[in-house]
Chain A
Amino acid sequence: MALKWLGRFLVLLFTIIILAPLLIVLFTSFKTTPQFYADPLGAPESLSFHNYRSLFEGQPMAAYFLNSLTVTLATVALELLIAGCVAYAIMRSGRRVGGLVFGLFALGLMVPSQVNMIPIYSLIRKLGWSNSLTGLVLVSLAVLLPLSVFMLSGFMKSLPKELLEAGEIDGAGEWRLFGQIVVPLCAPYFASIAAFLFVIVWNDLLFPMLLLTGKDKLTLPLALLSFRGEYVSNYPMLLSGVVVAALPLIILFIFLQRYFIHGALAGALKG
């Protein structure tokens, strides 16, 4: 009995620890600056959308939003396609060659972005791709390949071999086997990995910071950082920026919870 109450207390305590900071952010974003300084921690007297309005009027928020969306969607879609193809080739080319290719990609799992940031930065500058969203997408694709190939190979290995053999006997080529058997069977895995990658790319700070320099090309996390310079300790403005940047992900999460959580599980187990 005592244990049950202890458990309930723990859940309650943790709910407060999680919710309190999130709620205070939401509250603060609806306060005007004088309201905020008069009572920084209280509930807002009335819902004022003032901060959101001035954020969208003072900043090219729509452009930032579009930048983030473009980079994220392009990276996730291409990553699934490219890594899916690599994983398929690994699965189909036998133990020796497949194992060798797999090992080459798996080695990359050891190298964190922080180790690569300096050489990637200088390579991109040499190639003249600085401040290009295309450059950022290509770099993100390459950096995420080891993890994506690793996860997808794991899933593809568990597919029943007989299905592919039956397809081969019926005369299907590699593209048909891939497109009509492997991809549909792996669809739920692709969805989980897509959710997992979406979070990573949407939230990434390091590579956008290294590669994007012009104000017109910023992604949302970078834009947030630049707001700090402009709205020095103007918390209501800063935090409404946080809400705007987080909202799309939270909405996606509410509808696609299962995929997000499976993706995080797969990422942890395979990564």
Chain B
Amino acid sequence: MKKRVRLLPFLAPGLALYLVLFVYPTLTGFYYSLTDWDGLSPSYRFVGLDNYVSTAKDIVFKKSLVNNLKFMLTVVLVQTVMSLLLALRLAKQSKRNIAFRALFFVPTILSSVSVGFIWTFVYDPSLGLLNGMLKSVGLEAWTQNWLGNADIAILSVAAVQAWAHIGQMMILFVAGIQAIPNELIESARLDGANPFQLFVRVMWPLLAPAAAIVVSYSTIQSFKAFDLVFTMTGGGPNYSTEILSTYIYNSAFMNYTFGKASTASIYFLVLISLITVLQFRALRTDRVSD
């Protein structure tokens, strides 16, 4: 009992901050989702579950859900494959490998606004690096308005998200590979395993936990993406890059429908919780260590 009293000063500031500026707002978010508040007027009406019904029917909301999935799948696929391949090549501790790993990590520490500006420039249809390079190697037909074409804009942005975080995912795989005991690989080599067999039979089973972490981390990170999409396209053209988080932002701060935006937030929370629960399951079943 006395001990608990002695520990109270350690707990109090953190707990107070957390309850006032995190828990309380989260709970009021639920409450706002049941009202028709516009975010500005002092009064609003309680409308029950109306927002939940109308949001579920909203075409733009549905579109942003589909876009979110497209964005997430693209990012996870590209990131996982690329980062694994790079990690396999760069896992050995040598000065050169460490330098490459550091270089590939650099985009991770840049802000999404910076990354967004950099790539808006790279994607620029007339002045940008990408179309310029395609032209210079005779692939004129492949040039595109990468962010202006509603059919591919979401993929263009997803590629940038992947670009920014492959280095980070690679580091996770490198840690996983370095944890594999060297004797295992040596003895498989002595038994005459070729590199392919070595990877499939020996390394992959031991890398499964690292892969689970990379896939789930990248899933959640890309599902929550906001800054990059907001900076590069703002959801356009014609809602083709609208994802859930930009939908929430736009309906709250552009259209002043706070109630509806709160409802979309709750839907978002439910989805992300589902993904997180699945992630914990995946991690728990085949996790070796951290």
Q: How many A-B residue pairs have CB under 8 A?
A: 254
The residue on B at minimum CB distance from A135 is B21
Interface size class of A (residues with CB under 8 A): 35 or more
**B6 adjacent to A174 (CB under 8 Å):** yes
Query: Is the C-beta of A19 less than 8 angstroms from some C-beta in chain B?
Result: yes
User: Is A187 in the interface zone, CB < 8 Å from B?
Assistant: no
Is the pair B3, A93 in contact by a Cβ cutoff of 8 Å? yes
B276 on interface, CB distance cutoff 8 Å: yes
Q: Does B249 contact A (CB under 8 A)?
A: yes
Residues of B within 8 Å of A, CB-based: how many? 87
Bound: A239/B114 CA distance, A = 8
Chain A residues whose CB sits within 8 angstroms of the CB of B129 once the complex forms = 20-21, 24, 41
Interface digits, A217-246 against B, CB 8 Å rule (1 contact, 0 not)? 000110011001000000100110110011
Bound complex: CA A139 to CA B22 (Å): 8
| B105 is an interface residue with CB less than 8 A from chain A | yes
The 8 Å CB contact of A7, one of B23, B88, B111, is B88
Q: Which of B7-15, B45-53, B56-64, B150-158 contacts A (4 or more CB under 8 A)?
A: B7-15
Contact B4 A110, beta carbon cutoff 8 Å: no
What residues of A have a CB within 8 angstroms of the CB of B282 in the complex?
Answer: none
The answer for the CA separation of A108 and B22 in the assembled complex, in Å, is 8
Name the CB-closest residue of A to B129.
Answer: A24
Question: CA A118 – CA B25 in complex, angstroms?
Answer: 8
Return B216 CB to nearest CB of chain A, in Å.
9
Chain A proximity mask over B1-40: 1 for CB below 8 Å, otherwise 0: 0011011111101110110111111101100100000010
Residue B65 interfacial (CB < 8 Å): no
Judged by a CB distance under 8 angstroms, whether A55 is at the interface is: no
Cβ B227 vs Cβ A206 within 8 A: yes
Which one of B69-77, B141-149, B182-190, B266-274 is at the interface? Answer: B266-274
A240 CB → nearest B CB, Å? 11
Give the distance in Å from the alpha carbon of A268 to the alpha carbon of B279 in the complex. 12
Query: Given the interface contacts A108-B18, A242-B118, does A119 sit within 8 Å of B26 by beta carbon?
Result: yes
Given contacts A3-B195, A24-B129, contact A268 B18 (CB under 8 A): no
B199 to chain A, nearest CB (A): 10
With A and B bound together, what is the CA distance between A112 and B39 in angstroms?
21
Q: Is the CB of B171 within 8 A of A264?
A: yes
The answer to whether B262 and A118 touch across the interface, beta carbons within 8 angstroms, is: yes
Decide yes or no whether B180 CB sits under 8 A from chain A: no
User: Does B7 contact A117, Cβ atoms closer than 8 Å?
Assistant: no
A sample of 12 cross-chain residue pairs with beta-carbon separation below 8 angstroms, ordered by A number, consists of A8-B89, A11-B90, A89-B7, A101-B15, A111-B26, A113-B226, A118-B39, A119-B28, A142-B18, A235-B121, A238-B117, A246-B110
* Nearest 7 A/B pairs, CB to CB: A203-B111, A142-B21, A119-B25, A86-B14, A89-B10, A7-B89, A85-B10
